[in-house]
Amino acid sequence: MSDDCIFCSIVAGDIPGRIVAETDGALAFLDANPLAPGHTLVVPTSHCQRLADLDAEESRAVFDLLSDLAPDVEAAVDADALTVGINDGEAAGQEVPHVHAHIIPRFEGDGGGPIHAVAGERPHLDDEELDDIAARIEG
């Protein structure tokens, strides 16, 4: 628990949240400024800032709840689809420094875009550069 973390305060019950599901290691609640009806956040109950900070158990708790809940969110608001994503780090738009996955209901013709729309201009990478990046990720 981090004292000045708003999501830790929701987990602790110190500030209100519209909680929709809870497991041993994860909590889901409605986003206070929804991008769509049903916009839900899934967080680990322990304070972790970045995805890479989650241990295997925390990670499993978040992704298990996320995949369990996704169809319920979609059905609850009669959505056509979902966009699911994590802003992992400030440069990616993370504002609350406690890992959270967004479940955003999507509707035909809602005017939104695919996840491919989140990045800036596409890079031009040749085969050698792609091979090099793949090798570096592989480690």
List phi, psi (to 5°) of 67: -75, -30
Residue 25 exposure: Cα atoms within 13 Å on the Cβ side: 15
Residue whose CB is less far from ligand AMP, 41 or 69:
41
Residue from 5, 30, 51, 86 in contact with Zn ion (CB under 5 A): 5
The 81-85 sheet, strands edge to edge: 19-22, 26-30, 40-44, 101-106, 81-85
Residue 124 annotated to the active site: no
Chain residues 36-55 in contact with ligand AMP, contact rule CB under 6 A: 41
CB of 19 to Zn ion, least distance (A): 15
What's the alpha-carbon Rg for the chain, to the nearest Å? 17
Strands 101-106 and 40-44: antiparallel
Residue from 2, 23, 49, 94 in contact with ligand AMP (CB under 6 A): 94
**Amino acid identity of 4?**
D
33 forms part of the interface with ligand AMP (CB under 6 A):
yes
Candidates 39, 98, 100, 102; catalytic one = 100
CB of 31 to ligand AMP, least distance (A): 5
Residue from 37, 89, 93, 112 in contact with ligand AMP (CB under 6 A): 93
Q: How many whole angstroms from its chain centre is CA 103?
A: 7
Chain residues 13-72 in contact with Zn ion, contact rule CB under 5 A: 47
5 forms part of the interface with ligand AMP (CB under 6 A):
no
> What amino acid positions are annotated as catalytic residues?
100
